[in-house]
A = this chain, B = another copy of it.
Amino acid sequence: MQFSALQLASLLGGKIEGNPDIHVNNIAKIEEAGEGKLSFIANPKYEEFIYTTQASILIINESLVLEKPVSPTLIRVKDAYSSFALLLEKFKQLTSNKVGIQQPSYIPSSVKMGENVFVGAFAYLGENVVLGNNVKIYPNVYLGDNVTVADDSILYPGVRVYDNCMIGARVMLHAGCVIGGDGFGFAPQPDGSYKKVPQIGNVVVHDDVEIGANTTIDRATMGSTVIRKGVKLDNLIQVAHNVDIGNNTVIAGQTGISGSTKIGANCVIGGQVGIVGHIHLADGTKINAQSGLSKSVSETNMALNGSPAFDYKSSLKSQAIFRNLPELEKRVKELEDMVKQMLSEKAGI
């Protein structure tokens, strides 16, 4: 792989500052990039490196104002992060593109497959499984009976999809995630024990969803747990039965969502957040990491923080005073002493 600044700029629709003929052969982080390497700056935290990097070519935002001369050839684009992502994607496509059926794998005759499918060794496909074109099923994956996977989806090693679940197109399921395990539903009995409520629904994962490693999404009691188009879930997230997550909502690692909660579109939810069951979050809700949501949010685009969560800015103020609670308590003590003193003086007069 060898690209000139001119080639890259024309691919990205960017503007060159420096030598258009300089070449790069690989991609690296700004703080580690040496000669012959391509790098980028999108986060202002890293702008200082622009003056010290040994990279041969840098992709930067067209809006970035330089304070002094720099050594790399620059390619200015509207959005350096997106442009760089595009280049990474091209690079990724140059790496191995698996196709074919490895042996031993378990594929009943009722399974239907599209073209260019990959099924790794030790993968297990249940009865009536349907795989679209270009689907990649890595080794040790399990698909239960009647599972469908639409075109261009990738299921990494050890993914488990229980019976009757549906996976959309261009979906990426990372290693060890579990789709369609039983929802956590039990009816308390008079003797203190619990009786399992059978979970006969399924999980529907729409197109363009990515689900992280070891994340678990439970099947619905009835009906479907729904992960809508473009949702991105990080690792180790728990999604309970009958949850519905709206288009393009992004959720960071280790967050948990309790049963029957409905999350709107375009929400951004931090890591380790807990959300109780049977509530609704409006579109565009933003939730800070480690928050706990116990009530529905009806207004769109609210930012929330804390456990229990409330308005983000107010919560920061409360947290700041929390830090100084001993000081506040001291002020109250001093007031009490002063007032007592005043009262005793008054009584004394």
Task: Name A's B-contacting residues (CB within 8 A).
Answer: 27-29, 32, 43, 45, 79, 81-82, 84-85, 88-89, 91-92, 95-96, 102, 104, 106, 120-122, 124, 138-140, 142, 145, 156-158, 160, 162-163, 172, 174-176, 178, 181-182, 184-187, 189, 192-200, 208, 210, 212-214, 216, 218, 221-223, 230, 232, 234-236, 238, 240, 242, 247-248, 250, 252-254, 256, 258, 265-266, 271-272, 274, 276, 278, 289-290, 292, 307-308, 310, 314, 317-319, 321-326, 328-329, 331-332, 335-336, 338-339, 342-343, 346
Contact between chains at A82 and B187 (CB < 8 Å): yes
In angstroms, Cα B98 to Cα A59, docked, is 52
- Nearest CB of chain B from residue A284's CB, rounded to whole Å: 9
Contact between chains at B271 and A272 (CB < 8 Å): no
In angstroms, Cα B167 to Cα A216, docked, is 23
- Nearest CB of chain B from residue A343's CB, rounded to whole Å: 7
Residues of B within 8 A of A339 (CB): 335, 338-339, 342
Residues of B within 8 A of A323 (CB): 310, 314, 318
Contact between chains at A196 and B89 (CB < 8 Å): yes
Contact between chains at A124 and B122 (CB < 8 Å): yes
Can you list 18 pairs linking A and B with CB atoms under 8 Å apart? A28-B222, A28-B223, A82-B187, A88-B221, A89-B196, A91-B198, A172-B196, A174-B178, A176-B214, A186-B232, A193-B248, A194-B232, A194-B250, A238-B254, A254-B254, A272-B272, A314-B326, A321-B328
- Nearest CB of chain B from residue A136's CB, rounded to whole Å: 13
Residues of B within 8 A of A292 (CB): 272, 289-290
Q: Pick the contact of A343: B192, B242, B338 (CB < 8 A).
A: B338
